[in-house]
Amino acid sequence: MAVQFENGDFQHLTHMTSRSGEISANYYELVDCFGPPVDGPDEDMDKVSCNWDILFTIPEDDGDSEEIVATIYDWKCGNLTPRYDMNWHVGGHSRHGSRPLWLVMDALEEYRTNGEPYKGPPLPYDFERVKPHD
């Protein structure tokens, strides 16, 4: 069984997470890979204009599974919702080290390689979708 993930409002699991690294991506790529953000895009938010809570389920050899939560967010990027290539912060619990970052990077690489978009409910875009700059 492969690693699976779901996007949702996991505030009860994201409490006390902290930055574990950064990824380079654009907003639309993240939406296509992980689904709509939990919060945002909202240009009136204070330090983060949009974020994702991702719950990864990793199968173990004994038939059990481990759950690891990762957060993806823009940190102090100004008052504009990021739509183009930029560095996004990835957070997780310190007990998991860099695993949240690696899981997000693997999922994003899988999307970039195979082009498998998010298969959840229809995406509610709040603004005109534009292509990122080359």
pLDDT digits (tens, 9 = 90+) for 27-66: 889 988 998 888 776 666 677 778 899 998 888 888 888 8
**Which residues neighbour 64 within 8 Å (Cβ) at sequence distance 6 or greater?**
none
* Domain annotation covers residue 101: yes
- With helix as H, strand as E and coil as C, how does 83-95 read? CCCEEEEEEECHH
* Domain annotation covers residue 62: yes
Domain extent for 15 = 4-114
* Domain annotation covers residue 34: yes
What is the pLDDT, as a whole number, of residue 90?
93
What is the pLDDT, as a whole number, of residue 128?
41
* Domain annotation covers residue 129: no
What is the pLDDT, as a whole number, of residue 23?
92
Burial of 124 (0-12, 13-18, 19+ CB in 10 A): exposed
Q: Model-level pTM? A: 0.77
* Domain annotation covers residue 25: yes
Domains of the chain: total: 1
Ramachandran assignment for 129, one of left (phi > 0), alpha (psi -120 to 50 degrees), beta (any other)? beta
* Domain annotation covers residue 131: no
Spans of the chain below 50 pLDDT: 1, 120-134
Amino acid at position 115, single letter: G
In the β-sheet with 51-59, what is the strand arrangement from edge to edge? 4-7, 51-59, 65-73, 86-92, 18-25
* Domain annotation covers residue 22: yes
